[in-house]
Amino acid sequence: MHFDIWTTGIATVPVECLILGVFEEGELTEEARAVDAASGGRIGALLARGDLSGKIGETLLVTDLTGTKATRALLTGLGPKKNFARRAWRRALSAALTAVARTRIASVALAVTRPGAKELDDYYLGRAAAELTGATLYQVNDLKTGKKPKAAALDTVLAGPVRRAGAAAARRGLAHGSAVAYAMRVQRDMANLPSNVCTPSYIAEQARAIAKGVPTLKVQVLDHAALKREKMGCFLAVTQGSEEPAKFIIMEHRHSKSAATVVLVGKGITFDTGGISLKDPGAMDEMKYDMSGAAAVIAAVGLAAELRLRLNVVGLVASCENMPSGKAIKPGDIVTSASGQTVEILNTDAEGRLILCDALHYARRYKPAAVIDIATLTGACVIALGAHHTGVMSNDDALAREIISAGLRADDRAWQLPVTEEYAEQLKSNFADFANIGGREAGAITAAAYLAKFTQGMKWAHLDIAGTAYVGGAHKGSTGRPSPLLADFLIHRAGR
């Protein structure tokens, strides 16, 4: 894919198709007006006929255009003018790129007036262009035999309009956007694979493959014996019912000794049956996505290296299956975590927090400026926030705000839930330091309250992506979230 910007007059942009915006009120954007004038009112005539309503998601391909070097235009609806902001602009571009991907058009110029430089500067224009193109053209790595559907013809995307003064920023945005698209693809490819292919060993291999030949990246994989040496009793408890070997993957992007370190911790349950506290069979296949946090972490560390971010980024991935068997942990079992605290496992289906707590403890040795765990942790978070916002819980409000801002800029939104002390009371146990579940109320928060017991003294945030990392039903698949949010967070931390 070739990305660049366009700065000259719209009539001379050397592409096959211009992407132009039209408001729901029937009003044309600046670039659309220019093309309309050059073509003798062609676009206005189509709108007058009612061929495009201007609603977001609606598009219309105009062919045999005259007066411009491009002989086609793809009109895309921007919705009502008063709601026009970053998100509407992005959705309109997505719809346009999706429509282009169904044609044999090979080159396009994005010429949809931006909602305003404050909403979307030149850098984010470039970033959105590359990222949305990548996301639109993504093809699921299915295991179907027979011919793959033909790839889209699209191979050139020019972002604009950009003034000369903004060209460098826009080009930087394009490079960063390509990296974000790549990170999303890495996450989605891994998460879409079934658990008999995407095992903990497979995830470790992927981390190694990404690091291969990249001088700033280092990967180390701890096996069962090493986990015992690290005394990761909670992680070991989850994996003990499974035949598939567990892996603890350490992936480091090292910028310099003096740079601050961000540690990302990923939940890598390659399949979550619930264990002895067995899940309902309905949609249990979706528990193959329970390693989405791990995939996002590996993708983010890879992105940090690709963009040579001036930051040390460490990815820690705890990966295993959660299975019922004669060797599996049972409700009421008590284990000792790497931190030394004891845990009564009242529900074996609350396994994510068990593997994360030992990984979070491991993070301490890096003296991180911030540690963020990413996990498909609770069904309760899906009930609270649905598929639209990732749940953010933190012991540091500034860090939570930083994450939420990154999500807004990246259009990968997150919403904060409170983790005040009261919630920890729900974790009380008669027999151990605390239990691994806190009852029905505030399930997303009590999971975070459990993790908070292992992160004291560190600036920590927890992202619950159970509702955002994948979609079920007819369009089942990984979404690649929260890779855009993580990328934005790291890029900003490093100083873009």
> Which residues are bridge partners to 471 per DSSP?
477
The CB-of-357 to Zn ion minimum distance in angstroms stands at 14
Assess 379 for contact with ligand BES (CB under 6 A): yes
Binding site for Zn ion (CB under 5 A): 269, 272, 290, 352
Report the largest interatomic distance among the alpha carbons of the chain, rounded to a whole angstrom: 81
SS3 152: coil
CA angle 290, 293, 299 (to 5 degrees): 130
Query: Quick check: is 353 catalytic?
Result: yes
Catalytic residue among 69, 254, 279, 496: 279
Assess 392 for contact with ligand BES (CB under 6 A): no
Query: Quick check: is 188 catalytic?
Result: no
The CB-of-6 to Mn ion minimum distance in angstroms stands at 49
Assess 437 for contact with ligand BES (CB under 6 A): yes
Structure tokens at 430: 């008669």
189 binds, among Mn ion, Zn ion, ligand BES, none (CB under 5 to 8 A by kind): none
Task: Assess contact for 301 and 490: CB atoms under 8 A.
Answer: no
The CB-of-349 to Zn ion minimum distance in angstroms stands at 7
The CB-of-377 to Mn ion minimum distance in angstroms stands at 9
- Residues 314 and 372: their CA atoms lie apart, in Å, by 10
Q: How many CB atoms lie within 10 A of CB 397?
A: 11
Structure tokens at 14: 């050397």
Query: Residue 125: which residues within 8 A CB-CB, separation 6 or more?
Result: 114, 159, 160, 162, 170, 173
Assess 349 for contact with Mn ion (CB under 5 A): yes
Residue in 31, 122, 272, 412 binding Mn ion, rule: CB under 5 A: 272
SS3 144: coil
Assess 380 for contact with ligand BES (CB under 6 A): yes
- Residues 175 and 169: their CA atoms lie apart, in Å, by 10
Assess 122 for contact with Mn ion (CB under 5 A): no
- Which H or E run contains 173? helix 167-192
Residue in 18, 183, 466, 490 binding ligand BES, rule: CB under 6 A: 466
Assess 323 for contact with ligand BES (CB under 6 A): no
Assess 166 for contact with ligand BES (CB under 6 A): no
Residue in 77, 166, 324, 443 binding ligand BES, rule: CB under 6 A: 443
Site string for ligand BES, 253-282 (x = CB under 6 A): -------------------x----------
Catalytic residue among 353, 413, 453, 481: 353
The CB-of-246 to Mn ion minimum distance in angstroms stands at 16
> Which residues are bridge partners to 320 per DSSP?
269
Q: Is the dihedral of CA 206, 210, 213, 219 positive or negative?
A: negative
Site string for ligand BES, 339-358 (x = CB under 6 A): --------x-xxxx------
- Residues 475 and 391: their CA atoms lie apart, in Å, by 23
Q: How many residues in the shown chain lie near ligand BES by CB under 6 A?
A: 16
Give 344: exposed, middle or buried? Use CB within 10 Å, 0-12, 13-18, 19+: buried
* Binding residues vs ligand BES (CB under 6 A): 272, 290, 347, 349-352, 376-380, 382, 437, 443, 466
Q: Which residues bind Mn ion (CB under 5 A)?
A: 272, 349, 351
Q: Which residues are catalytic?
A: 279, 353
